[in-house]
Structure formats: C-alpha cells, structure tokens
Amino acid sequence: MTAGDNDDAQRARIIVRDMTADDIKAVRRIESLAYEDAWPARTFEEELNNAFAHYRVAVELQPKTSGTLATIRRKIAGAPERVLGFMGCWYMVDQIHLVTIAVDPAEQGRGVGRRLLLDLFDLARVAELNTAVLEVRVTNTRTRRLYEEFGFRLKGTLHQYYKDNDEDAHVMITGDLSAPEAVERLARLRREHRRRFGATFADGSEAEAGA
C-alpha cells in the first residue's frame, strides 16, 4: 500500500443509503435544526413503512485505522457512521415528489444537499418517472436557487401551506427528465459535484441497490 493509498483508507467517506429505523433519532435532530415545523418521530416511522415512499440518508463513515491510538479514538468517536443529511420522496403515478430534504447546518457546504438531490434523480430514473415536483417556502430564496440549478421551475403557489406560520409555498416542477437537455444538465451537475467534493464521497450511486 502506498502512502496515498493509506491516506485514502484513513479519510472519512460519505455515502447515501436507505434510511432505517435506527436513523430516525439522528434525522429528527437534523430536521429540528432545519425546520420549525419538524415532524415527530412517529411520522418517520410511518413513512418507512409506506410502500410509496423512499427515504435516504447521507452518512459519513469513520475511517478505517489500526493501532492502539486509533482504537481509543474510535471509542471516543462512538458510532462508525454519522448522519449528515436526509431526503424523502413519494412515488406518484407519473412523477417523483420530493417531500423533505435537510442537511445538518454544521455540515453544510460539503456537497451533501446536492448529492441527495442527485440521488432523487437516480431514484426517478430507476422508477422510470420523467418529472420531479416539490414545494418550497416562498421566503427560502437560497434553496429555490439550488432547485433551479437542478432544472426545477416555478409552477404555482399554495397559499398558507406551512402550518407553523401560514407561509405560502412555491410549487416547482422539472421538465421531462429524459429530454436531452435534462440528461446533459444532470451529467454536468454530477461532474461538478465530483470535481468539488469527490474526495469525500464514495464513488458511484447506490440508488439502484436501494430501489
């Protein structure tokens, strides 16, 4: 093993996998930090049993190390993986609906949200669904711009959609995901993500394995 290989082995890796009941506590913590109208744990439990729903988590795997000092560090760190963010969607008749997405505020800027959105489009492709739809608060300009990068466009407004403060929601929808321009957009976004964050993310998509 070369020095570079050893560095890679010791670097933490982020993967995206299906959410399990064991993840709910960590997911609830992240959602509570991200949203004022956070769901109760019971809702996540119900969603995990919903055949038309699919929930995914981005987790950071602790690096594989050896030796006495490394063993002590692993014990201090605790769990071998840490949830950084999550995404949930529903499979509709003709489209995939992004229901929720959030990243731990302390972990933002690491490409986790973008990776989860790319995963959403992987799930849509596997399910042969050619459009994606979501709702976003009208005041959440930053997130709306991110969605626009991924091809979402304003479709309409739902008045007093959010019950915590009666805020309106913008409904955003993509065009045909199988269209050449949409395929090229996603390919470009994947290349950009790999260039910016590839060193910390595991290679490849796990959407097909989880679908």
* pLDDT 10s digits, 48-97: 999 999 999 999 997 765 556 555 555 555 568 899 999 999 999 999 99
The mean-pLDDT minimum among 17-21, 34-38, 137-141 falls in: 34-38
Domain presence at residue 172 = yes
Quote the mean pLDDT of the chain. Answer: 87
- 209, part of any domain: no
Q: How far apart are CA 46 and CA 137, in angstroms?
A: 24
Structural domain contains residue 206: no
Give the number of other Cβ atoms within 10 Å of residue 88's Cβ: 24
- Residue 15 domain boundaries: 3-200
Lowest mean pLDDT among 46-50, 65-69, 145-149, 170-174: 65-69
Looking at residue 158, its pLDDT comes to 96
In a domain, 160, yes or no: yes
The answer to whether 114 and 189 have CB atoms below 8 angstroms apart is: yes
Q: How many CA atoms lie within 13 A of 30 on its CB side?
A: 26
Q: What's the predicted TM-score (pTM) here?
A: 0.84
Give 208 or 93, the one with higher predicted confidence: 93
The SS3 call for residue 21 is: helix
In a domain, 205, yes or no: no
Domains identified in the chain, total number: 1
The mean per-residue pLDDT over the stretch 182-191 comes to 97
CA 199 from chain centre, in angstroms, equals: 18
Weakest-pLDDT range from 12-16, 96-100, 200-204: 200-204
In-domain check, residue 210:
no
Burial of 206 (0-12, 13-18, 19+ CB in 10 A): middle
The CATH code of the domain that includes 40 is 3.40.630.30
Spatial contact of 105 and 88, defined as CB atoms under 8 Å apart: no
Is residue 66 assigned to a domain? yes
For residue 38, pLDDT beyond 70: yes
Q: What is the pLDDT of residue 208?
A: 40
The answer to whether residue 131 scores a pLDDT higher than 70 is: yes
Q: What is the DSSP letter of 204?
A: S
According to the model, what pLDDT value does residue 94 have?
Answer: 92
The reply to whether 208 falls in a domain is no
